[in-house]
Amino acid sequence: AVAAGQAMFALGDSNHPLKTTEKGRDAVILFATDHRCSYANVVVRKDLFDKGVKSMEALGDEKLVGRKAVVAATAIGSGTHVYGVYVCKSIKAADGKPVNDHVQRVGGGASTTMLGGLKGGKFDAIMAVPEWQSAAVSEGFGRPIYDILDEKAWNRVFGGRIPVTVGYCLKETVEKSPDLLQAYVNACYRAQQWIRKAKDDEVVDLLHRPYMETFSRETVLESVRYYRTIFDWDFVVDEADYARGEKVWIPTALDKPIPYAKAVDMSFVRKAQAKYKS
């Protein structure tokens, strides 16, 4: 939609603007809202967990699983797929090969089909956002074996902070509508600072019924607490974080590197920070 000019701004996976640039429409990352990937969690079926599949290494044991583990992402090529591949490539199974060599990847869709597929045994594991992870655990049919809130587990695979969810636009918007762009970044930055200071229940009151009513209030509350631990409050994407991200995006999402100076513009965030110092 952004590349086609149907929308001026978007918030999404960091590889989206990079892929847009790679396809010939230069796009720019304006800010990052988080520094760990909330959908890189891996949740395995409870019956497999009880059999001993309690780690990523065990997920790569075809004898223990009973087959190549069927791992669902929302869709092949999606963010859950990109990060899932990277996690599985970064961890070796007992035979010394990457876990990724021992899994079969499938598209699982959205909440109902992802959770239903895990519960019904169609999937052995799913890439899970916090809400899915909480629902699988609370309803007793899933257990996490890779949790991004575990800092040691995160750093073992990713090595530190990376820009995961970003605000972005076309470069031509930067050139043609800088004032409007600054207003957009200001609004997003102010919203992030409101979340930072608001009570958990205030955030849930704002979100639950209009946007997340398929989940219980307690699940949404747990999700709010979860996201607080990974949010990037200052919105800044620095060069080192970007470089770590490139290891994830290439070659699963992108064919080749795009220089930081071309991909990222922090000038609008800096102005927002100066205007709304807390």
- pLDDT tens for residues 23-49? 999 999 999 999 999 999 999 999 999
pLDDT computed for residue 131 by the predictor: 87
Percent share of the chain, pLDDT over 70: 100
> In which residue ranges of the chain is pLDDT below 70?
278
* Cβ 192 vs Cβ 231: under 8 Å: yes
Q: Quick one: pLDDT at residue 165?
A: 95
pLDDT at 124: 98
What was the pLDDT predicted at 278?
58
pLDDT at 110 (0 to 100)? 92
Closest CA to 29 of 230, 276, 255, 249: 249
The pLDDT of residue 12 = 93
Q: Report whether the peptide linkage leading into residue 251 is cis, meaning its omega lies within 30 degrees of zero.
A: yes
pTM of the model: 0.88
The secondary structure element, H or E, covering residue 69 is strand 69-73
> What pLDDT does residue 77 have?
87
Distinct helix (H) and strand (E) counts, the chain:
15, 8
Strand order, beta sheet including 9-13 = 9-13, 165-170, 27-32
Instruction: Give the pLDDT of residue 249.
Output: 94
**Which pLDDT value is given to residue 101?**
97
The pair of structure tokens assigned to 126 is: 């799913």
Structure tokens at 97: 């090969």
Residue 92: the pLDDT is 96
